[in-house]
Amino acid sequence: MSWLRVGAIAVLAGSLGASGCGSSSTPTEPTTPVTYPQVTETYTGTMVAGETKAFHFTVTNPGSVDAAITDLSPLATLTMGLQLGGWDATAETCSKSLFNDASRVNTVLSGTPQAAGEYCVAIYDVGNLQSSTGFTITLLHY
């Protein structure tokens, strides 16, 4: 066998081996991070002395949760209670994980859920309501 023929067989074997094994390149990581949209939810209602009103929401991506009473009427200077917690769907109750018994309009209560799931926000009377009061709670989460 001539050296030329041996060289041609070696080149042919090498090219067949490379094409038969697939790609040898390493996958690359995405260059842009995945971002999740922030969700804004608004809850409104009316409450009377001694009452608590809870609203549940779903967190799809753990991150910050910010809640604030954004309106009280007829008296916007009232102090109310505001809480964030886990939602118990069976009992339809809101655990009191984070709370502020001295919330006023636009005072923000912030939390950081560790996992996706069902959570809740609640407003409650801390003993200041003398008549029915309208409220709005604004919630920001991911």
**For the segment 24-55, what is each residue's pLDDT rounded down to a tens digit?**
566 666 667 777 889 999 999 999 999 999 99
pLDDT given for residue 2 in this prediction: 47
Residue 9 pLDDT more than 60? no
> Among 61, 107, 56, which residue's Cα sits nearest to residue 85?
56
- Neighbour count for residue 89 (Cβ, 10 Å): 8
pLDDT given for residue 32 in this prediction: 75
Q: Cβ distance 133 to 72 under 8 Å? A: yes
Beta carbons within 8 Å of 115's beta carbon, 6+ residues apart: 59, 62
Domain boundaries in the chain?
A: 39-141
Q: Cβ distance 14 to 109 under 8 Å? A: no
pLDDT tens digit string along 61-115? 988 999 999 999 999 999 999 999 999 999 999 999 999 999 999 999 999 998 9
CA distance 47 to 133: 5
Q: Please tell me the class of the 39-141 domain.
A: mainly beta
Angle at 107 between CA 102 and CA 112, to 5 degrees: 100
pLDDT given for residue 4 in this prediction: 40
